[in-house]
Structure 1
Amino acid sequence: MGLFDLINPLSPIKLTKKILDGDDMDLEEFGEKLLSKPYRPGGVFINAIDLIELEEKRKAVYGDVIGVKRKMGYKHFGVYIGKGKVIHYASTSGDFGGNICIHETTLNNFLGEDDEYFILEFPSVYGSPKEVNTKLSDKIVNDLLNMRPSMRKVLRFLKNSSEYHLYSQKETVRRARSRLGESSYNLATNNCEHFAIWCKTGISESHQVNALLGG
């Protein structure tokens, strides 16, 4: 049973539709009202967007590439290997510091001071992965950024599309374990995101670095 089920046994759409009395609305009109009409299920003031986000959230499973958005503005990545454990490229005392290497840690240590993580969902062909469990505004910004035309993006796509391969959950963890103990960290060319995305796709890439370089 999810968090929403504790609030109300009806689904967000059914509950909102019932509250709005929108049985005769066309789909577009209902959709607009669904995303703007606030109400109070269980006495808690909540918006339909919040309910949809609650429904979308899911826990990481074995082989997922996960990440956290640090308060300093960057993202940190790792591979979830089950039972509350993560393999990531970081210092043993934080993301940065002495003795940066690929090692296994607990999900709590991976999160650090953050409360939530996101999961990367990779497209079937080469492209930027989608972040699941992020705020709707962040998704919109990411989509807009991904739509920005760039010759560098086109060249990178042509280079990487032939090498792109989605490994299974089991293979992803095997690839992560194969590099345990590595200590050749480089913020620009071999960081935690390069490592985590390589485990899933075979391509060592950091979308954060690409963005800083202008595409």
Structure 2
Amino acid sequence: MSDRFEVDTVTRADHIYVSRGAYTHHGIDAGDGTVIHFSGERGAAKINAGIERSPMADFLKDGELKIRRYGRRDNPDTTIARAESRIGEKDYHLIVNNCEHFATWCCTGIRSSDQVRGAGSLTAHGAIAGTTVAATTGVVGAMGAVSGLSGAGIMSGLATAGGAVGGGAAIGPAMIGLGPAIVSVGITQVALRDNENLPQDERNARRDGRAASIVGAGASTMGGVAAVSVAGTAGLSAAGITSGLASIGALVGGGMAAGTVAVVAAPAVVAAGLGAGVFLVSRRLRRPVDAHEVGTIPAPPSDLYADSPVDEDAE
């Protein structure tokens, strides 16, 4: 057990958690040296997991105790009543009813799991990137008057895409990449959506991440066009675009088709990466040092507890 653990610094009805390496385990401090939580560990042992009251030492298993901070939550009596009402329940589900869902619901009346949301966001962003790479060559090859992925075929496809908005081949990659970029930004907006139950520093960090994903998508879209111009031999003429895409493709070990994929996929990838990166950096800079650690928890704000509980289930 960490020497930073001091049981008298934990207060009744706190949402507490402990790291298990790749994930965190959550519960509600009952105020008497016990924790109400889903028993068992992730994996096969969780199949028959149930909500129970366990000694603090059994919950920690030599891990370091931490406290989930809230900007607004329901009062301790409501929290404990909710937790105790579900003791004996055995319908654990990793995605929709895990230990974090349970603890968050006890404190706010809302079922939510940052672990699930984060994993879902990563999976969705990965799927968008993979789909973009796989689809771009097919779309470009099929759109033009000259089919296929020859130089002429790619240029014809890009010209058709760019022509949809009154532009030319130089705007083609931006138009093809618009859909994946919008989806990527949307995923980030959902993953980092605002929640009044969160501490203000966390809400501000999420706001920064959401804004960064939009800026990243826009900047990388325009940057892709500029990169083609710079990498080419003759600006944004047909010859310049052809040579520019080929030069970009050569950086990843391919040719003109690979360069097209790189330029098309960039806005979606940058939107996801920049949004997540800015959020993490902003959260680290804004959060008081070790503010989530037991023993360094600041006094709760006077308006921490909601006037009345809001019992609504929301993922």
TM-score by length of 1: 0.50
| Equivalent in 61, 65, 85 of residue 178 of structure 1 | 85
How far 1:75 moved relative to its partner?
0.5
| Alpha-carbon distance in 1 for matches of 2:38, 2:96 | 13
C-alpha distance in structure 1 between counterparts of 2:87 and 2:49, whole Å: 11
1:167 is the counterpart of 2:74: yes
Aligned twin of 1:119: 67
| Structure whose CA Rg is larger | 2
Match for 2:11 among 49, 57, 61? Answer: 61
Q: For each residue in 1:42-93, what CA deviation from the matched residue of structure 2 results, as whole angstroms up to 9, or x when unmatched?
A: xxxxxxxxxxxx8xx982110100000112x1000000001210000122xx
2:66 aligned partner, one-letter code:
F
Matched residue SS, 1:121: coil
* Displacement of 1:95: 5.3
**Ranges of 4+ aligned residues in structure 1 off by more than 4 Å:** none
Q: Which of residues 89, 98, 102 is equivalent to 2:38?
A: 89
User: Aligned AA for 1:204?
Assistant: R
State how many pairs are aligned: 116
Aligned to 1:136: none
Instruction: For 1:184-199, list aligned pairs within 5 A.
Output: 184-199=91-106
Deviation for aligned residue 1:121: 1.4
Q: What is the rounded CA distance, in whole Å, between the counterparts of 1:58 and 1:207 in structure 2?
A: 27
Identity %: 36
Unaligned runs of 5+ in 2: 122-190, 192-315
Counterpart of 2:23? 74
Aligned-CA RMSD value: 2.0
Opposite residue 62 of structure 2, the aligned amino acid is E
Q: 1:59 to 1:95 in 2, by over 3 A?
A: farther
Q: Distance in 1 between matches of 2:17 and 2:49?
A: 17
Could you tell me how far apart the structure 2 residues matched to 1:191 and 1:80 are?
Answer: 17
TM-score under structure 2 length normalisation: 0.35
- Find the aligned partners of 1:84 and 1:200 in 2 and give their Cα distance: 19
- Paired with 1:122 and 1:74, the residues of 2 have a C-alpha distance of 20
The unaligned stretches of length 5 or more in structure 1 are: 4-53, 125-165
CA contact (8 A) 2:48 2:92 kept: no
